[in-house]
Amino acid sequence: MNDTAPTAEKGSPARPQKTALITGVNGQDGSYLAEMLLGQGYRVYGLTRDQGLLYSTNTLHLKDRLKLIYSDYTIQNLSETLRTIRPNEVYNLAGQTYVSKSWEMFDETLKASGILPSSLLEAIVNVDRGIRFFQASSSEIFSAQGSTPLSEQSPISPRNPYGCSKALAHHMVQAYRQHYDLFAVSGILFPHESPRRDSAFVFKKIVQTAVKIKLGRESTLQMGNLAAVRDWGYAPEFAIA
């Protein structure tokens, strides 16, 4: 699996420099997207709640080109950030990413995956309604017992706090788009992996444990629900989309 980000096509005409703001920039999706946009000539900022403004292993190589900005995720602070950097586009990729732990991390899940995107939309209305907004929605908004294949018209009926929070954001994007005529869209993402994925997720866990077994450091691979069925994609390709 290649750990490189997609780049702009060669020979494409030069465009005026744009500015993008990415939440969750230190994760796999955010780092690949940052690389791609920087490669297309964007000025890229990443939003983080880390007051030390630390870069993760995914973004350390971008330190000289990617600027991190601290935010407490309140509407006032988000509005001030938008006024300062004047982004053309905002990509909300932040959130509590562990579906199974969302019952234990209810408050964090609701705030990060439901309230933050809603607050970003309100901040855009406050500052500049011309800003384009992308929300990373999730297939978890649908019912596990729903019909397949899924489509945008499938019933939204989440079954866990993660899915409920994502459904809140999904509906808020639609409401703000219709009420304020914003360019605000949700991309309904299914599970996706890459070498930058956290080791707690199944693909990385399988690969790392297989290597440890080969080296004689472990003898077994312990998994969770073996009956779970998922459709997986490749994170850099999701960044292109």
Q: State phi, psi for 22 to the nearest 5 degrees.
A: -120, 120
Active-site residue (options: 102, 138, 165, 186): 138
Determine whether 140 is an active site residue. Answer: yes
Active-site residue (options: 31, 140, 165, 194): 140
Determine whether 104 is an active site residue. Answer: no
Active-site residue (options: 32, 45, 91, 162): 162
> Please, how many CA atoms are within 13 Å of residue 218, restricted to the half-sphere of its CB?
12
Q: What's the token pair of residue 144?
A: 């596990």
Determine whether 73 is an active site residue. Answer: no
Residue-wise burial string across 102-123, b where 16 or more C-beta atoms lie within 10 A, e elsewhere: beeebebbbbbbbbbbbbbbbb
Q: Which helix (H) or strand (E) holds 213?
A: helix 202-214
Could you tell me where the beta strands, DSSP code E, fall in the chain?
19-23, 43-48, 66-70, 89-92, 132-138, 184-189, 192-193, 233-234
Task: Judge residue 196's burial from the number of C-beta atoms within 10 Å of its C-beta, 0-12 exposed, 13-18 middle, 19 or more buried.
Answer: buried
Helix (H, G, I), strand (E, B) or coil at 72: coil
Positions marked catalytic: 138, 140, 162
